[in-house]
Amino acid sequence: MERIMIINGSPRAPKSNSKRYAELFSRYCPVETDYYNLTKRNHRQLCELMAGYSDVLFVFPLYADALPVGFLDFLKELEANPPARKPMVSILINCGFLEYSQNEIAIEMMHIFCRKNDYRVGSILELGSGEAILGTPFKYVAVRAIKRLARSVAHGEHRTIKATMPLSKRLFIWASTYYWTAFGRKFGVSKSRMQTMQIEDGRLPDLPLAGE
């Protein structure tokens, strides 16, 4: 085992949950790691750098039951510019919903990519409740899973690990609705406003502000 290359495929990489998960991985990994954020302009450079690593860990979030589009673009670039020596590919995916099984389609996409391009798949961590877990008393669940992932990648004893908050769906939905409603209120946005399709593009309809 040499060094491990960690690539964060989150579109909000510098402020992402994936970055925090990658930091935990590095902290508990017995082998040296090098961390890279994916940006629009560094795809080719990362493909070139990859040749120097025995292992790569892709850390990314689930987006619309699949891979974030920037990460998909990177995989296309990697397909066109493969490194001379192909590293073992391990994966740490996190999703917002409680069930880690939400990640399975994205993991299948990664398996197809690896099969098609002759990469061996190493260890996988599928994390549910990934947006929230580090801010709750259940942080230990994520930390424990990442420790296991880090050791398994470092020792070449590959496995698939699955983890989430030990809550019922009902309680998770109640707690997350409470959290996001309070979060919106802090920025003057009501729950009904957040439930519109225009929430992200600034074309907000004339709906009541929080507390109206």
Ligand X SMILES: Cc1cc2nc3c(=O)[nH]c(=O)nc-3n(C[C@H](O)[C@H](O)[C@H](O)COP(=O)(O)O)c2cc1C
Among 5, 7, 16, 67, binds ligand X (CB under 6 A): 16
Half-sphere exposure of 48 (CA within 13 A, CB side): 4
Taking the least distance from each CB to ligand X, the nearer of 123 and 129 is 129
63 binds ligand X (CB under 6 A): yes
* 103-142 binders of ligand X (CB under 6 A): 130-131
Q: Using CB under 6 A, which of 6, 38, 46, 62 touches ligand X?
A: 62
Beta carbon of residue 59, minimum distance to ligand X (angstroms, whole number): 8
DSSP-derived 3-state class of residue 161: strand
Number of residues that bind ligand X (CB under 6 A): 17
Applying CB under 6 A, the span of 33-41, 48-56, 57-65, 71-79 interacting with ligand X comes to 57-65
Q: Is 75 left (phi over 0), alpha (psi -120 to 50) or beta?
A: alpha
* CA separation for the pair 116, 99 (Å, rounded): 28
Q: Interface with ligand X by CB under 6 A: which range of 62-70, 75-83, 84-92, 137-145?
A: 62-70
Nearest residue to 154 (alpha-carbon basis) of 39, 18, 14, 6: 6
**Does 94 sit near ligand X (CB under 6 A)?**
yes
**CA distances to 76, 87, 93, 103, 121 from 117, in Å:** 11, 11, 20, 21, 11
Question: Which residues would be at the binding site for ligand X (CB under 6 A)?
Answer: 10, 12, 16-18, 61-65, 94-97, 102, 130-131
